[in-house]
Amino acid sequence: MNLDRTRIIFIAIIGVAALVICGVAAYSIIGNLTEDEPTAVTESNGSTSSNNNDGSTVSNIDLDSPDPIWGPNYDADDGLPTYICGADAFGSYFTLQQMQMSGKDVEHGFHLGIIPFFLTDEYDITEGQRTALLDSGQWSCLLTTLDSVALSSPGVITAIVDESAGADQLWGRDIDTINDLQGKRIAFASDSVGEYFVYYALSIAQLSPRSQVTLVPQDSVESAIEVFNNGQADVVSAWEPNIYDAEQSGGIKLLSSEELRIVIDVIVTSRQSIQTNADLVQNFHNAWFDTLKAQVEDFDTAASQIAAWGNNDWSFVYPETATDDFAIWLESVAQADLGDNAFVMRDTRPIISRLEIARRVWAASDVNIPNDDINDLVNGGFVLRAADQPSLQPNGRPVNDTFSISAQVDLSGVSTDAAATLAVLPCRTFAFLPESTELTLESRRILDDCVVPTMSQSIGLFLRVRGSSAWPANDPPYSEDEIIEVAEGRAQSVVDYLVSQGIDPARFIVEATLPPEDRRGTDDPNLQAQDRFVELTLVTAGR
């Protein structure tokens, strides 16, 4: 049967339309099946990024770890498990090298492998790679700072290594107080504890790192000091011994971790290690404290073992001068021995508090922080089980025995006659209950935010508390003694509250001041309000 031309064209159009509809339907079905799968894009550095459903991009860091360095007693065929730890060249971290050379790892049933950062180009591992390798479980532990843990949550803090006691410093030119940092250019090594030290110092004076200073981040501490010396920055944050090069351009130390004890080094253990082999994690901690015990009881031998590990231009501990070299490393760090660790881990609130403070400081600097439960970042069980073993208790003291969290430091004999102002705190006006020197709840909250964090972490700082009271008109007129009494009472109320929060009473200088002559006996409420304050000034003795 023959079809006319019009009918043929009509049938062809219908067929094409049917094919189009089927194609669209098939594409839609396939799209629905695959829309939840991220699209991977290979980047130039070998890592990948994934596009999530919300449009955000997640970068996957290259997890290719260099081979660890093993100790002289390593035998791959002896059946002992391995424990891999990454660490910088830092004096208190050299307990790892001592552990290997003394055989304490094998004695406690495992082989320790060390990833020494920046030993060679092979060990040039970024901060992001370090935390990712621990988070993935490829490494068993990472020695790093507490503020880094607060920022990235790569694992769980299972022990305290030390507290920086002068090693981290802030230098500047023509800058007398932290308040003077406003408007200045500040250099530091990006993603380092030096960056955190800057943010914390700014938080004391409530200066915004986003708008009230100019940040000059650099790739290394050497570069940060170089831009400072070249006049491209007014302030530099760095650490010993590099920081002393800032003196070349007239730099002067403004602040150090001797006064501001905010930098704590910790052992961070991978969650996988804790979950799958807690006994091995315990053996490592036993070996760590056993090695520390040997270090304080026979320092010369410990130093010699660290020098014998080799790579002396990395550790700066040389065979012929090992004892002196190692001691210099430890002078500016307050090591935490087993007793210190046990004290901290029996009540982890101070450590939790420091983690919370660190997150607040990072967040104020527009850095993204995790939203996990911060209480899950500390596990004190391994320390406490080690502390139950008498054989691990040391019979000696570290080189620097000023670790501040574990004991109340006696400051009663310290003179503040030559105290230098470090910062005038921005909190100044506090409300008191009517006709009283008792602080209101709101005033206590202000002190909790403005004063307690810094004073609780900074045993080298004192607080000058200067009270002032208005001198209102009265019949008969108030006497000078009466006004001073109220002013002192308000200053003392602030001190009493801070002491109730655990601050040593020896760290306060209480003063009182009278209003200017032209505001005495006034009935003007606006003038009276100007003289109702308690001024708080951080001071440091002997700076």
pLDDT one-digit tens code per residue, 47-65: 433 333 233 333 466 688 9
For the segment 187-207, the average pLDDT, to the nearest whole number, is: 90
List of E strands, 303-349: 333-335
Confidence of residue 459 (pLDDT cuts 50, 70, 90): low
Residue 18 clears pLDDT 70, i.e. is over it? no
Beta-carbon contacts of residue 87 (< 8 Å; ≥ 6 apart): 93, 96, 114, 115, 116, 117, 142, 143
Note whether 305 and 386 are same-domain residues: yes
pTM for this model (two decimals)? 0.76
Q: Torsions phi, psi of 409, nearest 5?
A: -80, 130
**CATH code for position 502:** 3.30.1330.60
* Predicted pLDDT of residue 60: 61
- Domain boundary (60, 77, 105) is at 60
List of E strands, 133-245: 141-145, 156-164, 168-172, 185-189, 214-218, 235-239
Confidence of residue 409 (pLDDT cuts 50, 70, 90): very low
**What are the angstrom distances between the C-alpha of 388 and each of 97, 239, 284, 293?**
25, 36, 15, 15
Confidence of residue 506 (pLDDT cuts 50, 70, 90): confident
Least confident of 314-318, 356-360, 451-455: 451-455
Note whether 217 and 239 are same-domain residues: yes
**Count of domains forming the chain:** 4
**Cα–Cα distance, 8 to 108 (Å, whole number):** 89
Question: Is residue 397 situated within a structural domain?
Answer: no
Nearest Cα residue to 392 out of 337, 343, 334: 337
Higher-confidence residue: 367 or 215? Answer: 215
Note whether 149 and 288 are same-domain residues: yes
* Predicted pLDDT of residue 118: 92
* Predicted pLDDT of residue 424: 84
Best-predicted range by mean pLDDT among 277-281, 360-364, 466-470? 277-281
**CATH code for position 136:** 3.40.190.10
Note whether 301 and 283 are same-domain residues: yes
Task: Locate 397 and state its tokens.
Answer: 């003291």
* Predicted pLDDT of residue 435: 60
Beta-carbon contacts of residue 30 (< 8 Å; ≥ 6 apart): none
For the segment 95-110, the average pLDDT, to the nearest whole number, is: 98
Note whether 175 and 143 are same-domain residues: no
For the segment 285-314, the average pLDDT, to the nearest whole number, is: 97
Higher-confidence residue: 242 or 37? Answer: 242
Least confident of 84-98, 401-415, 431-445, 461-475: 401-415
Question: Is residue 403 situated within a structural domain?
Answer: no
* Predicted pLDDT of residue 142: 98
Please compute, for residue 11, the number of CA atoms within 13 A of its CA located in the half-sphere on the CB side.
6
Strands 185-189 and 235-239: parallel
Confidence of residue 213 (pLDDT cuts 50, 70, 90): very high
For the segment 14-40, the average pLDDT, to the nearest whole number, is: 40
* Predicted pLDDT of residue 30: 38
The residue range of the domain holding 115 is 69-163+263-392
Note whether 237 and 320 are same-domain residues: no
Percent of the chain whose pLDDT exceeds 90: 58
Residue 42 clears pLDDT 60, i.e. is over it? no
Question: Is residue 535 situated within a structural domain?
Answer: yes
